[in-house]
Amino acid sequence: MSDQIIPLPATAEAAAPVPVTNPNTRKVFIKTYGCQMNVYDSVRMGDALASEGYVTTEAMEEADLVLLNTCHIREKAAEKVYSALGRLREMKKERAANGREMMIGVAGCVAQAEGEEILRRAPAVDVVIGPQTYHRLPQALQRARRGERVIETDYAVEDKFEHLPKTEKAVIRSRGVTSFLTVQEGCDKFCTFCVVPYTRGSEVSRPLAQILEEAQRLVDAGVREITLLGQNVNAWHGEGPKGDAWGLGDLLYRLSEIPGLARLRYTTSHPRDMDDRLIEAHRDLRTLMPYLHLPVQAGSDRVLKAMNRRHTAEEYVRLIERIRSVRPDIALSGDFIVGFPGETEAEFEDTLRLVERVRYAQAFSFKYSTRPGTPGAELGSQVAEEVKAERLERLQALLLKQQQEFAEGCVGKVIDILLEKPGRNAGQLIGRSPWLQSVNVDAKSSQIGDIISVRIIGTGPNSLFAERIER
């Protein structure tokens, strides 16, 4: 997971089906930090608020409710939230002086981890709500309006997805032709650097019927590509129609049968849960895109053991070889942490060697940062910041070189792309390649949602360029 801030498009930020026309309508601004799961959660919170009469605004200062949907995966994540809350406190005071309400809520993983501390340090906050209880957000806001400062960070007994409102087709359609769909939450792996088991809880899989219903609703509204989400998505398991045990591979086979669903993806995976059935799905399903995000984190077996990854570097490489043997065109993405406590220069070079062996089309890499409450935070032999920075620079240079080589290797290929949004120039549309790259193409006779054949003719810093062809 990355520590980027992901602003949602206006139509997704609060799931408003219509533009704001009534000046008395309550407006909500949702700022989303972190991973795709948080993006999905923000959209679902927006759905819950839309049923209460809220509509979206892109201007924070206009909002009657500001929600910070937070990520706790990187160091100082909480301090970033408190800094934002300080600015919001002043904005709230200014609105109050003009007789206008501004409620402030903190959601997500920082809310789960910090809880009462947020209410203590940030008096302007009205509601603190964790990722397992955001279906209770409308009720929490009602309590806050009665003067209560509300905290909802328990692990809900009830299924939050059953309590969330069904999203209207018009709202889904306004968000575009691709969609996230959460199928699994939480993690039981307890990697020593990771806070997720403590903020998201243990692994929980959504029931098959619930997933199929949401997927069908998305497709009926015009979605053509679905990305299945989970903190450890390939740990998904459920009961099949005949009472048999199903894994993610079985789920992908079933989803591929939905008419109109053209593309499937999933993220994020753990190497320990890449079973035979899932690998077979990559071999058999043309709807399953040839792109796999499979974090390894490090190339040294000693470091991997200290991280509690429960696999070796060689086991990871052999797994990649098995996957490539059934899907040779698959593009690999990964996560890397440099400077884990005690990492030597030789162990860091093991990571570089693993990267050279695997060859990545895309990757995310970070300096190790301590997360309070995780075992890694208690380890000695912390690596100096300047050493971590220097290693990260070398690793990222290698990963960028591989990414550029992968992109250049696409030039001349004829591929299908899913058109997702308008480009900058007249008649230009932007599509997505099977390998998750943005592709710019002149497609005047096409429309968003079409899948068209193109020939890649060039590369840019973050995208490809193509010409349309008929085949």
Residue 71 assigned ligand-binding role: yes
Q: What is the pLDDT of residue 420?
A: 97
**Residue ranges for the chain with pLDDT beneath 50:** 1-21, 23
pLDDT tens digit string along 298-320? 999 999 999 999 999 999 999 99
Residue 194 assigned ligand-binding role: yes
Any residues with CB less than 8 A from the CB of 89 and at least 6 apart, and which? 104, 122, 123, 124
pLDDT tens digit string along 423-466? 988 889 999 999 999 999 998 889 999 999 999 999 998 899 99
Residue 410 assigned ligand-binding role: no
Q: What is the pLDDT of residue 372?
A: 73
Q: Under a CB-based contact definition with an 8 Å cutoff, are residues 27 and 20 in contact? A: yes
Q: CA–CA separation, 20 vs 392, rounded Å?
A: 46
Q: What is the pLDDT of residue 157?
A: 60
Domain annotation for the chain: domains and CATH numbers: 10-152 (3.40.50.12160), 187-409 (3.80.30.20), 414-468 (2.40.50.140)
Query: Which of 82, 153, 77, 152 lies closest to 124 in space, CA to CA?
Result: 82
Q: What is the pLDDT of residue 158?
A: 67
Any residues with CB less than 8 A from the CB of 285 and at least 6 apart, and which? 252, 253, 256, 264
> 0.95 exceeded by the pTM?
no
| Dihedral sign computed on CA atoms, order 204, 209, 214, 218 | positive
Alpha helices, H only, 164-238: 169-174, 196-199, 208-220
Q: Tell the burial category of 2 from Cβ atoms under 10 Å away from its Cβ (0-12, 13-18, 19+).
A: middle
C-alpha 112, offset from chain centre: 18
Q: Dig out the tokens for 163 from the structure.
A: 């309590």
Q: What is the pLDDT of residue 119?
A: 93
430 vs 396, 414, 419, 436, 441, CA distance in Å?
27, 16, 6, 12, 6
